[in-house]
């Protein structure tokens, strides 16, 4: 019958449930929360309330579109952290209840590890198109920016991380300065496509190790625009595309600089990219150009599995199930869980 894992993701503002059979996705259902858009960012209390409303219909739909009954599940895997505590509590409590009532194993999943293991979601005909261990993974999303050395499915080490904002957060906050609604990252990407990336220069951090910093860039962007607006009240309107392109290029440069050092230091040329910012077209183009030049092999999960989703939680649950790595009913969410 195979191993059937139900994965539940509720760490931020997406309620998602997925059924994975022997590593292949049978369903991956998502309810996004539009309620945050008008606030310019995720409001934690509204997020947890929306998760409570969404979780049962989302799980129900994931099960029915997978075409399996709840009695067939081998285990339930859920995101324990990191994330917003109130949001995590909804997925954790639901999963505990389900595992208890069905008397099946409960598996806790680290959201960051799940983003990375999204690379191993099996797809018909593409089974060989997965990174080989060890590989380097650049995890870039709205909440995280990390460089991870991945030795095995369940053996990873963070070798660099942001000391302040995440890359996606930098996109979103700068987009807000341009008057774009949350999440601004994809909108910046679109504008940047027709802008001049060399038009403006913004400050880059100079950290000695593999760590990242984006808060200085955000401030430099904000102050630059504030100064320009004094001379030209239409500056943002007039130069929106150039601003987006120049900002995007700076973020990509910052990300690439450390990735290149990490690859050089470790000798690893298999590079995975995970998280929502992996969708950025400028980052993708830069990566593939560098790959040609440096003999890298690049792996990027499909967009549906790059942004927050439950299939990545279910695939992590699958590997933990094989390793018999189960958790107890006394488990509680951990908003600051680390790899």
Binding residues vs ligand KG4 (CB under 6 A): 12, 141-143, 168, 171-172, 183-186, 189, 275-277, 279-280, 307-308
Least Å from the CB of residue 274 to ligand KG4: 8
Least Å from the CB of residue 141 to Zn ion: 4
User: Is residue 304 helix, strand or coil?
Assistant: helix
Closest to Zn ion by CB, 269 or 304? 304
Closest to Zn ion by CB, 141 or 286? 141
Residue 27, contacted partner among Zn ion, ligand KG4, none, CB below 5-8 A by kind: none
- Alpha carbons 70 and 290: distance in angstroms, whole number: 46
Residue 86, contacted partner among ligand KG4, Zn ion, none, CB below 5-8 A by kind: none
E-only strand ranges, 22-58: 24-32
Closest to ligand KG4 by CB, 23 or 168? 168
The C-alpha R_g of the chain, in whole angstroms, comes to 20
Residue 185, contacted partner among Zn ion, ligand KG4, none, CB below 5-8 A by kind: ligand KG4
Residue 108, contacted partner among Zn ion, ligand KG4, none, CB below 5-8 A by kind: none
Paired sense of beta strands 75-81 and 145-152, if any: unpaired
Please spell the DSSP secondary structure of 209-275, one letter per residue.
Answer: SS-B--HHHHHHHHHHHHHHHHH-TTHHHHHHHHHHHHHHHHHHHHHHHHHHHHHHHH---EEEEES
Contact residues for 170 (Cβ-Cβ < 8 A; gap 6+): 214, 217, 218, 251
Closest to Zn ion by CB, 143 or 195? 143
Least Å from the CB of residue 278 to ligand KG4: 8
Closest to ligand KG4 by CB, 105 or 183? 183
141 binds Zn ion (CB under 5 A): yes
- Alpha carbons 116 and 48: distance in angstroms, whole number: 25
The residues that touch Zn ion, with contacts defined as CB under 5 A, are: 141, 308
């Amino acid at each position: 019958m195979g191993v059937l894992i139900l994965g539940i993701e509720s760490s931020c503002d997406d309620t998602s449930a997925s059924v994975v059979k022997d590593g292949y996705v049978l369903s991956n259902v998502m309810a996004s929360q539009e309620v945050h858009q008008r606030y310019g960012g995720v409001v934690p209390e509204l997020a947890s309330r929306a998760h409570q409303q969404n979780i049962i219909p989302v799980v129900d739909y994931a099960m029915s579109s997978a075409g399996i009954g709840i009695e067939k599940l081998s285990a339930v895997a859920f995101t324990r952290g990191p994330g917003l505590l109130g949001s995590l509590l909804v997925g954790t409590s639901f999963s505990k209840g389900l595992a208890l009532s069905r008397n099946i194993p409960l598996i806790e999943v680290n959201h960051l590890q799940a983003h990375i293991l999204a690379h191993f979601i099996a797809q018909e005909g593409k089974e060989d198109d997965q990174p080989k261990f060890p590989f380097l993974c650049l995890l870039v999303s709205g909440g995280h920016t990390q460089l991870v050395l991945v030795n095995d499915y369940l053996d990873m080490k963070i070798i660099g991380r942001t000391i302040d904002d995440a890359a996606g957060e930098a996109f979103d906050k700068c987009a807000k300065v341009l008057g774009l609604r949350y999440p601004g990252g994809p909108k910046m990407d679109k504008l940047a496509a027709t802008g001049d990336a060399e038009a403006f220069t913004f400050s880059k951090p100079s950290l000695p190790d593999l760590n990242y910093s984006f808060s200085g860039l955000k401030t430099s962007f904000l102050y630059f625009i504030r100064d320009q607006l004094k001379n030209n009240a239409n500056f943002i309107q007039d130069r929106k595309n150039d601003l987006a392109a120049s900002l995007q290029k700076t973020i990509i440069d910052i990300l690439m600089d450390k990735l290149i050092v990490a690859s050089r230091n470790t000798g690893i040329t298999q590079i995975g990219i995970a998280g929502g910012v992996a969708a950025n077209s400028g980052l993708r183009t830069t990566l593939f150009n560098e790959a040609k030049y440096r003999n890298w092999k690049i792996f990027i999960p499909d967009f549906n599995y790059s942004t927050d989703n439950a299939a990545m939680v279910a695939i992590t649950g699958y590997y933990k199930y094989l390793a018999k790595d189960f958790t107890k009913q006394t488990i509680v969410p951990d908003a600051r869980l680390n790899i």
